Every structure is written in C-alpha cells, then in structure tokens.
C-alpha cells in the first residue's frame, strides 16, 4: 500500500493493514496529513489539524505495534472529531468566536475511548456554530462538500462529513440533535448513525439540546460505522443518562442479512404531505426498498400521520433548550455570534413556556407511536433528506429568511421521528443524481434512512450492511478529489 493509497482505504481495511504490519501508524498519519495539506484548504473541513500531536501519538503506537501490543480495533487509525467534543490540550471552539481560545483540560469520554482503542485524533472538524444547524455560521468559514464545493456538506457536523468524504480522516465523530449526523452522511455519500439516546456518553461534549443530543460516527462504510460505534458506545458514570445495557459486537453481527425481517416504509415520508420530497430521492428510496424485498425482507406500508410535523416539534424543543445553556453570553456578547446564530438564539428566547411544554407533550406522543410501530415491524425505511445537497451561499452572512426556515423544518421532519423517540437511525447512500449539468449540478448523493427500535443499532447496521453489499453506491468517489 503506497502512501497515496492509504487515505482511500476504509478504516477497517487500514486497521487490518496495521495489525498485519503492512502499514505503520506513522505511515498512516503521514499519509493523511499529506492529503490534508494537498486538498484541505478546498474543503475547510478542519478547524484545528493536530499534526504534531498526531505524529507523536503515531510514533508511540508504532512502537507498541512493533512490540506486538495493540490497544484495540482502531490502533493507528486517524480519526476526525467534531469541534464541540472536548480534547485535552487541544482547543475546542464550537466553531464560535466566543470559544475560539478554549482549551479543555480533559478528554470527552468518547475521545478517551477512541484513544484507548488506539485511534489517533488527527483533527477537530468544522461545524455549525454551537451545532445550530446553519451551514455557513462557522466563525472559521463554512466547510465544503467534496462532491461539489459549492454545495452544503450537511449541518451541523459539516466538517466531519466533509473530511470523511474527502478522505481527510478514516472515520469521524459527529453529534446529532435534529439530524446532524444523518444530514452530513446524506449530503456527502456516507454512512452515519444516530445511536439510541443514552447509548453513547455525552460527558465532555458541549451540548446543543440536552434531551435530544447524541454522539455517533460518520464513516465511509457500514463496517467502519459499526467499528467506530462499538468503540465509543457503553455506560459512562460521568453521564447519568447513559444506558447500562451491554453493547453488542456490532461488527460480528453484520452478516446476518435481512431475510425474514418485517420492514415498514413510512408512507407520509414518501412524498406529499407538504414536505416537498425531491422526485429523485423518492425514486431512489423506492428502488432501495425493492432491493430489501429481493434480499428476503417482508415490506409493509406503515402510516405515522404525525411524521410530517416532527420537524417543528424538534425545532421548538431544541431552540428552547439551546438558549438556556449560556444565557450570560446572549446578554453580554451578543455581537460575537454569527448573525444567523443571533437570530436563532433570539427567537429561541422568545418561545413561550407553554409552547415548549406542548412540544414536550407532542414528543411523548411521537415516542409512543414510534415504539408501538416497532412492535409491528423490525425496521423503518424512508428518505434521509428532502433531496440532494443544496447550494451554499458565497454572499456575506445572510440572516435566515422565512423560506429558508420553512425548508429547514421540512428537512427536519424526515429525521424527527428518531430525534424525538430516542431510537437509532442510520443514513446510507442509495443513489446519485444523474449529473446532467442542470442548474450547474454534477452527480450528488441521495440517501436512505433506516430506523430501528431503541437500542436496536445491531439490526439497523445489519440491514444497512446487507443493502450496501447488494449495491455499489459506497464505492463511488467525489470526482474532483
């Protein structure tokens, strides 16, 4: 494996090559840093590249490997970490001017677990300011989509999607509130899973919405996603909301297939209902459903009438909870926020208590309906997004218009069932636009979302793997990179 080939191997393949001593951790890190030097400026995927720290860690890991000692399944593998996740001695900015110089003195639990498994933190990835979900609000400039640098890489884990799709890290961590793992995975042609609420510790993570936030992987393959999730999942006494149930061996369970599974297709999210689903996404999801049927799953229509309303419900809850985190900043440093963040936070401050309470009651209703549905089916299928990645604005900061806000709520309704129910959901590529040049558009990824019962990550990953192996979408690379 030559240095230029290393970044294009999956995390699982690279980990195996390091175990077999075909590649050293030093070679892996140097190869990724060289690629970041070559194309990183085009994508702006990182806020901080940890070159010196990564090289020092790689040298130590190489010495351990030479002695036959391997810390875990990610030994020597370079990983990107979203910049709201604390890293000891390395700044954690939340993509904001207000946190530009903040350096934590301890690692978040997920970072400590990555390191214990042998991973090398190669950089802190770009994001929407304070995980707000606006693609242009980063104080360090927006991250770019490797499939088309004029396009949105997905919010708010913008850099994790961009870096992983651009082969600037082997796998990455994002944070998902209303869809901030699934959106970047969808826009960038990747696999990203929002785990069950409580499956992964949030200790040491700057939150966006305490009752909705989750940490999870954004990866290039289902196996990489399973590998990364297996490393970071599990109970943590530092997070009182983390679950105590044992974590399955996600990798070992991937080969089970879907034969005999009963899989529902959410009818309200297949077009109509005011959600403006792009015809290309609808057709791609329908074709993916046919693949599952051919693989032996029983496909049934499922109705969840509340699904089209879940975007506004999620946004009401998260907007209210978000502004409660640092109210003194809103009072004393309002001008230091990006203009779009200012508007969003100001609006969140104006939401009446009774509206928040009603949203919580509606969340309980959604959760009941989703959990009841998973007594009748094993999985749910739907589109991850309204359509392919949209254009980024190159204009000066633009305050969100009513039309942009409405579009964000529609987008959120494709992901809200799982944000509100706390159930796991995975996004996987299921096709591409034809790239005929219309509206300046090249081929862009389209995405399928697979939802499962609470703590049902194993069956979600198993189904995703069966679909991935039956299709070729994961083998495509951004043409310009």
Q: What is the pLDDT of residues 25-73, one digit of tens each?
A: 999 999 999 999 999 999 999 999 999 999 999 999 999 999 999 999 9
- Coil, helix or strand for 90? strand
Residues 58 and 120 sit within 8 Å (Cβ to Cβ): yes
Share of the chain above pLDDT 70, in %: 96
| Residue 242 annotated as catalytic | no
Q: How far apart are CA 295 and CA 465, in angstroms?
A: 12
Q: Six-digit token pair at 478?
A: 């951004």
pLDDT value, residue 360:
98
| Residue 82 annotated as catalytic | yes
Q: What is the mean pLDDT of residues 405-422?
A: 91
* Pick from 431, 419, 432, 428: nearest CA to 463: 428
pLDDT value, residue 400:
53
Q: Six-digit token pair at 248?
A: 């399955």
pLDDT of 271 higher than 90: no
Residue 369 or residue 276, greater confidence:
369
Q: What is the mean pLDDT of residues 298-315?
A: 97
Q: What is the mean pLDDT of residues 402-425?
A: 89
Instruction: Enumerate the domain spans of the chain.
Output: 6-475
Residue 133 — very low, low, confident or very high, per pLDDT cuts 50/70/90?
Answer: confident
Length of the chain: 481
Catalytic residue among 12, 24, 157, 180: 180
Catalytic residue among 10, 24, 137, 156: 156
Catalytic residue among 82, 115, 128, 160: 82
Q: What is the mean pLDDT of residues 258-279?
A: 93
| Residue 156 annotated as catalytic | yes
The answer as to CATH 3.90.1300.10 being correct for domain 6-475 is yes
């Amino acid at each position: 494996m030559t240095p230029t080939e290393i970044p294009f191997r999956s995390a699982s393949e690279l980990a195996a090559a390091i175990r077999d001593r075909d590649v050293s951790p030093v070679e892996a890190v140097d190869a990724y840093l060289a690629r970041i030097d070559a194309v990183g400026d085009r994508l702006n995927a990182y806020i901080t590249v940890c070159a010196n720290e990564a090289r020092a860690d790689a040298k130590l890991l190489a010495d351990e490997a030479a002695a036959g000692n391997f810390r875990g399944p990610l030994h020597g593998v370079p990983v990107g970490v979203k910049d709201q996740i604390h890293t000891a001695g390395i700044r954690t900015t939340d993509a904001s001017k207000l946190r530009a110089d903040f350096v934590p003195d301890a690692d978040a639990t997920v970072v400590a677990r990555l390191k214990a498994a042998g991973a090398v933190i190669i950089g802190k990835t770009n994001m929407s300011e304070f995980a707000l979900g606006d693609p242009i609000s980063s104080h360090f400039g927006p991250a770019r989509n490797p499939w088309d640098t004029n396009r949105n890489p997905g919010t708010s884990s913008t850099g994790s999607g961009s870096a992983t799709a651009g082969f600037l890290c082997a796998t990455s961590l994002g944070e998902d509130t209303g869809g901030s793992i699934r959106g970047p995975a969808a826009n960038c042609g990747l696999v990203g899973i929002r785990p069950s609420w409580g499956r992964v510790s949030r200790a040491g993570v700057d939150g966006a919405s305490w009752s909705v936030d989750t940490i999870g992987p954004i990866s290039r393959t289902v196996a990489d996603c399973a590998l990364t999730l297996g490393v970071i999942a599990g109970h943590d006494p530092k997070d009182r909301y983390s679950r105590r149930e044992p974590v399955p061996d996600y990798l070992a369970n991937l080969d089970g297939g879907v034969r005999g599974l009963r899989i529902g297709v959410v009818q309200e999210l297949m077009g109509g209902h005011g959600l403006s689903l792009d015809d290309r996404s609808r057709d791609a999801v329908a074709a993916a459903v046919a693949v599952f049927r051919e693989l032996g799953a029983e496909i049934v229509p499922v109705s969840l009438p509340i699904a089209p309303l879940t975007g506004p419900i999620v946004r009401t809850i998260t907007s209210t909870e978000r502004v409660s985190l640092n109210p003194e900043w809103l009072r004393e440093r309002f001008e230091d926020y990006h203009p779009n963040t200012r508007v969003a936070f100001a609006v969140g401050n104006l939401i009446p208590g009774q509206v928040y309470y009603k949203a919580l009651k509606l969340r309980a209703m959604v959760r009941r309906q989703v959990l009841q549905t998973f007594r009748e089916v094993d999985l749910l299928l739907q589109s991850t997004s309204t359509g392919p990645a949209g254009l980024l604005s190159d204009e000066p900061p633009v305050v969100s218009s009513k039309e942009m806000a409405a579009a964000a709520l529609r987008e959120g309704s494709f992901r809200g069932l799982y944000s509100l129910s706390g159930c796991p959901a995975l996004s996987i590529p299921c096709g591409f636009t034809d790239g005929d040049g219309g509206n300046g558009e090249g081929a862009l990824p389209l995405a399928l979302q697979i939802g499962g019962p609470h703590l049902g990550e194993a069956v979600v990953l198993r189904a995703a793997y069966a679909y991935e192996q039956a299709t070729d979408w994961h083998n495509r690379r951004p043409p310009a990179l």
